[in-house]
Amino acid sequence: MATASSVRPLPLAGIRVLDLTTFLSGPSATQLLADLGADVVKIEPAVGDSSRSIPPHFLGEDSAYYLANNRNKRSVVLDLKHPEGLDIALRLIGASDVVIENFRPGVCERLGIDKHAVTTDRPELVWASISGFGQVGPHQSRPAYDMIVQAMSGVMSLTGHPGQPAARLGVPAGDVVAGMYAVIGVLSALVSRAGTGVGRIVDVSMLDSQLSQLSYQSVYAMMSGQVPGRQGAGHDSIPTYRSFLGSDGAEFVVTANTQAMWERLCIAIEEPRLPLDPRFLDQSLRLQHKHELWRLLEKAFAEHPAAEWVSRLIEQQVPCAPIRDVAEALDDARASGRGMVIELNDGSHSFEAVATPILFEDSEIPPLRYPPRLGEQTREVLGEVLSLTPEECDRLVRSGAVFQSDTCSDPLSAQHRSVD
């Protein structure tokens, strides 16, 4: 841990991000930037980010879905169809380092915000667009959500058990991965700008992002001409990389990737001579005879409870783990000392969330800003960033160009992320 004298600000301190995103891919990206120290100003319409109303769980007026992806931000409500609302948005763009939006291609321009025009006026600006299918291409105008790109990318075709219908991944990888790639693009552009003084326009497609997650499966398919199918609980290359059942019906995973791990696995199941079987001498042979191997392993693992097998395998230095449910995983994270479960509190409500998994030994532990209420910081931002007077803000509110919530306070959570 850093000493008090060596503590430095978070890496993105001093960077302002204007967040024109909604739902998940964009908000997950801007929350990550906020957690890294950026000042994220979230622009919302009068009805708010559509994720605020997603059932079934709510805290106050906001959904758990919204709360999970919008901490450490400030909310400003603008009517972009109102001339003065649009003018305020353009002025905020002029005062920002980064703009992130996830409208369908062409929507920003129809609203009167042309990224090419604003980046021509301010060449140092970094602009990131997240969309379903990218800014160019045959599908660019189509709407897309997580499940759409999981389906179109081939990811869903790999998910589920052989002979069963395709399954959506249990996490919103189509959204979150696109958000992460957008952050990588933004950070790369900021590094480039530090040397050249010129920003970049970043184009991230959710579909492209999911295609990138195919990893070796895409190369396998292109190299072999064979289409991979449902992966179930196993692996296309390593037969000793899959889940199994103990005698108690509990599931656990074994990832014996190397020859040495395979031999130690055989010791754990009390079959030390199994590696000498001609069918299982090396990885290629084990893959060729995987169904025979699985029957042997399944029979052995059915003799003892899963927890006992996990203990035995760890003792033999064979990577393995129980399959936990979400509640169990979160309990383990709370006990880990890595600060991955955080609490946010606004004085009226509190909830726990999962932190950003990036730690800096020499950086300050930042206070956590509770996800903003709709329009909570409109006056604050307009005064601080654009130097508008209270009277000017009053007039804009009366005109309908902007909206300020009744709750104007901006408390910081008393809970800090810490690492033991």
**CA-wise closest residue to 413 among 371, 354, 356:** 371
Show Cβ contacts of residue 389 under 8 Å, excluding neighbours closer than 6 positions: 383
Cis peptide before 390 (omega within 30 of 0): no
End-to-end CA, the chain = 9
Token pair listed for 343: 């609490």
Residue with tokens 């932190």: 355
Distance of alpha carbon 55 from alpha carbon 103, whole angstroms = 23
**Rounded distance, CA 345 to CA 88, Å?**
30
Task: Identify which of 356, 250, 361 has the alpha carbon closest to the alpha carbon of residue 311.
Answer: 250
Quick one: 21 exposed, middle or buried, by C-beta within 10 A (0-12, 13-18, 19+)? buried
Give yes or no for a contact between 203 and 140, defined as CB atoms under 8 angstroms apart. Answer: no
Nearest CA to 172 out of 145, 153, 154, 152 is that of 145
Count of positions (residues) in the chain: 420
Q: Which of 112, 28, 60, 97 is nearest to 376 (CA)?
A: 60
Q: Which residue has the tokens 């326009």?
A: 201
For residue 153, the surrounding DSSP H or E stretch is helix 146-153
From 39, 118, 123, 121, select the one nearest 86 (Cα to Cα): 118
Q: Establish whether 332 is a catalytic residue.
A: no
Closest alpha carbon to 352 in 68, 20, 132, 123 = 68
The DSSP secondary structure of 25-81, one letter per residue, reads HHHHHHHHHHHTT-EEEEEE-TT--GGGG-SS-EETTEEHHHHTT-TTEEEEEE-TT
In three-state secondary structure terms, 342 is strand
Q: Which of 19, 35, 49, 175 is catalytic?
A: 175
Smallest CA-to-CA distance from 239 within 279, 276, 211 is with: 279
DSSP codes of every residue in 101-168: E-PPTTHHHHHT--HHHHHHH-TT-EEEEEESS-SSSTTTTS---HHHHHHHHSHHHHSS-TTS----
Give percent helix, percent strand, percent coil of the chain, each to the nearest 5: 40, 15, 40
What amino acid positions are annotated as catalytic residues? 175
